[in-house]
């Protein structure tokens, strides 16, 4: 167990801007699955995501000289808003490089907190490379979105809250995985004090870099990734996060777009909150795991990690949610381009 990381989590500075989010009992999901299910509501942070915790803790550690020069980050959207809000709070100039596919709601979120949004690259990895180049050119401090121990420690404060809020033994905790910072922090703390709790990481099947790294027992780079769960669309997990996750994460699994959309609907029905796809990965994986393993009468927590969803995506989510619940089937046919094709 990484004792130094435990100490970093215990001393992490997050509550200047973050709050202890509720752990809500999911009445409908619990009844449907015959388990006691709780939702950790990180979507209720000021930036609608857990990312604020790690961003602020990392920025707080900077020297006055580094703060005066300014910082830069690369982000798929939620870390960006965390950095921007942290910068506004501390009076630090912030620049954030974001992929060109970043939802407008996340770009506007950065700007609303005083950050300068720079759209560059077709995916996170290209935005990341551009941010590093700008950091060197302008002598800025680069704030990594996940592969930084201070960032991981900030996210780990969620684990501290969970054990305070749920004093009874926790059987399972499901956590979304993008770069791996969230699950590394939570799992490190939980396993330290509750080693029997199983930590299950969930990725979208089209961006499963941690799952593949576990399978191949090395840090892999995916050739291509899908962007439906844009907040967790990363080609390669971090060196630190993979090393930590190998020690404290029990299992990795993936979910489909339809399963993710169904989970968004499930959380909405229990809370009247609309999660973004990445924010609903944990709940989607939880449902799938319960069904596949016939889990019953267990104490289960799912981390609702973000709610920065664009309004224009809701129709697509609603349509795919029915498929995810197996209530509808999608039938595709090819119609020849010749007269009479539509005739019975």
Task: Choose the catalytic residue: 51, 191, 235, 288.
Answer: 51
Task: Choose the catalytic residue: 184, 209, 302, 305.
Answer: 305
Strands (E), the chain: 23-25, 36-41, 71-74, 94-98, 116-119, 141-143, 172-176, 198-204, 251-255, 299-304
| Residue 4 annotated as catalytic | no
Cα separation of 295 and 307, whole Å? 28
Contact (Cβ atoms closer than 8 angstroms) between residue 235 and residue 125 = yes
| Residue 287 annotated as catalytic | no
Number of helices and strands in the chain (H, E):
14, 10
- Enter the tokens of residue 123: 């995916």
Nearest to 269 by CA among 318, 308, 319, 204: 318
Contact (Cβ atoms closer than 8 angstroms) between residue 306 and residue 49 = yes
Nearest to 13 by CA among 46, 62, 47: 62
DSSP string, 231-280: GG--SS--HHHHHHHHHH--EEEEE-HHHHHHHHHHHHHHHS----HHHH
Active site residues: 51, 305
């Amino acid at each position: 167990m990484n004792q130094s990381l435990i100490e970093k989590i215990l001393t992490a500075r997050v509550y200047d801007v973050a709050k202890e989010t509720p752990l809500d009992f999911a009445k409908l999901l619990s009844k449907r699955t015959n388990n006691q299910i709780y939702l950790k509501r990180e979507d209720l942070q000021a930036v609608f995501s857990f990312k604020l915790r790690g961003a602020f803790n990392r920025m707080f550690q900077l020297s006055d000289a580094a703060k005066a020069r300014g910082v830069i980050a690369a982000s798929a959207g939620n870390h960006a808003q965390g950095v921007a809000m942290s910068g506004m709070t501390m009076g630090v100039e912030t620049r954030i490089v974001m992929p060109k596919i970043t939802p407008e709601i996340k770009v506007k979120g950065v700007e609303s907190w005083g950050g300068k949004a720079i759209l560059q690259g077709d995916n996170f990895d290209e935005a990341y490379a551009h941010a590093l180049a700008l950091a060197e050119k302008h002598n800025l401090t680069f704030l990594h979105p996940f592969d930084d121990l201070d960032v991981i420690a900030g996210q780990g404060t969620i684990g501290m809250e969970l054990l305070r809020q749920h004093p009874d033994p926790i059987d399972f905790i499901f956590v979304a995985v993008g770069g791996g910072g969230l699950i590394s922090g939570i799992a490190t703390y939980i396993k330290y004090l509750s080693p029997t709790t199983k930590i299950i990481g969930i990725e979208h099947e089209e961006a499963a870099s941690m799952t593949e790294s576990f399978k191949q027992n090395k840090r892999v780079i995916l050739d291509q990734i899908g962007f439906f769960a844009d907040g967790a669309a990363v080609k390669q997990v971090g060196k630190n996060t993979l090393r930590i996750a190998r020690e404290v994460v029990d299992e990795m699994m993936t979910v489909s777009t339809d399963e993710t959309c169904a989970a968004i609907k499930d959380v909405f029905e229990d809370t009247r909150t609309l999660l973004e796809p990445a924010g609903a990965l944990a709940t989607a994986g939880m449902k799938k795991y319960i069904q596949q393993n016939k889990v019953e009468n267990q104490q289960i927590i799912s981390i609702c990690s973000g709610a920065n969803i664009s309004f224009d995506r809701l129709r697509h989510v609603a349509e795919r949610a029915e498929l995810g619940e197996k209530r509808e089937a999608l039938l595709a046919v090819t119609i020849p381009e010749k007269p009479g094709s539509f005739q019975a």
